[in-house]
Amino acid sequence: MPGPDDFYDFPGPSFLQQGDVLSNVPLVSLPPSRELILLREHGTLARLQELAAGPVDLVRETKVNAFLDENREFIAALAQRLTGVLVTQTCNLVREDSWLIAPVFSIEATKIVEGNLFAGKYENFFGLRPHPQGLYGMSYADLNGLRSIRRDSVGLSDRVAALLPIQQTKLTEQIARALARDWGHAAGEKVPRDGKYRCLRCNRWYDVENPPCDLKAGDQFPECDKCHRIGKSAQWNMLQKYRKY
C-alpha cells in the first residue's frame, strides 16, 4: 500500500493539474428546496444588477417575478471552504472558466475500510494518503459529489499536494468508474418487460459461461449464481436483437 513518499509529488509542477489537492476551496450548494432565496435591493425589491456592500432584502422566489427578463439572479446559498481534489482534466484547465472539484473528507468515524479504499473497491471514492505535513489525515475524495467552481476562485498558492503520475492515472480510472459505470437490475427487482436477460457483471468481467434467462414482465429478477459465489450482486440487462444497419 503506497505511503506519502510514493503518493505525492513535492513540490509539484509550476502549474495546476488534475489531481492537485487544494485547500480552502469555496464550494457552494443550494438549500434542499425547490424555491430560491433571491437578493433584492433593500426596500424596493428591484433585481440586483451587481453585488455591492450594503443592505439587501431576502425574498422567496414565489414572492417576486424572477428569471423573466434575463437569465440571471443573485441568490442566497450555502457555502463552505473545504479541501478538494481538482478533477477537471489538465489540458482543459487553461480554456475552461469553470472547474470540477471533488470535496475531500476524513475516513475517521466512517465505515470505510482503508485497504478497500486504496484497492479501489469504493467506486465513488478516491483514497488520499495522509499529508506529510499533517494538513489532513487518511481521507477520500468524493467523486459522487463533484462541485463546479470558477477558475478564479483558486490558484497555485492554494495547492497543498500534487499526485505522482501513477496516482494521477489511478484517479482518472476511478473517475471513469464513478461517472460511467454500468447499471443493471438487481435481484428482487421487478422485470419491466418480457425478454431475454443476462447478468452483465458476469458476462463482461469474468470468464464464466452465463446463458441468458427468459423472464416475464412483473416477475422478480433472480440471484445470479455466478455472482453469488464470489459475493457480488447481479446486474441484469435485457438483450437486444442483432440488427444489421
Strand partners, 17: none
Strand partners, 198: 237
| 37 conformational bin, left if phi > 0, alpha if psi -120 to 50, beta if neither | beta
CATH architecture type of domain 4-24+83-180: Roll (2.30)
Cell triple for residue 21?
489537492
The angle subtended at Cα 152 by Cα 151 and Cα 153, nearest 5°, is 90
Name the band, by pLDDT with cuts 50, 70 and 90, for residue 68.
low
Domain boundaries, the chain: 4-24+83-180, 37-76, 182-245
The angle subtended at Cα 96 by Cα 90 and Cα 100, nearest 5°, is 65
Decide: 143 and 127 in contact? Cβ < 8 Å: no
Structural Rg of the chain based on CA atoms = 24
pLDDT for position 34 = 86
User: In whole angstroms, how far apart are CA 102 and each of 22, 125, 170?
Assistant: 10, 9, 15
Name the band, by pLDDT with cuts 50, 70 and 90, for residue 167.
very high
pLDDT at 20 over 60: yes
Task: Identify the burial level of 117 via C-beta atoms within 10 angstroms of its C-beta, where 0-12 means exposed, 13-18 middle and 19 or more buried.
Answer: buried
pLDDT for position 245 = 58
pLDDT at 16 over 90: yes
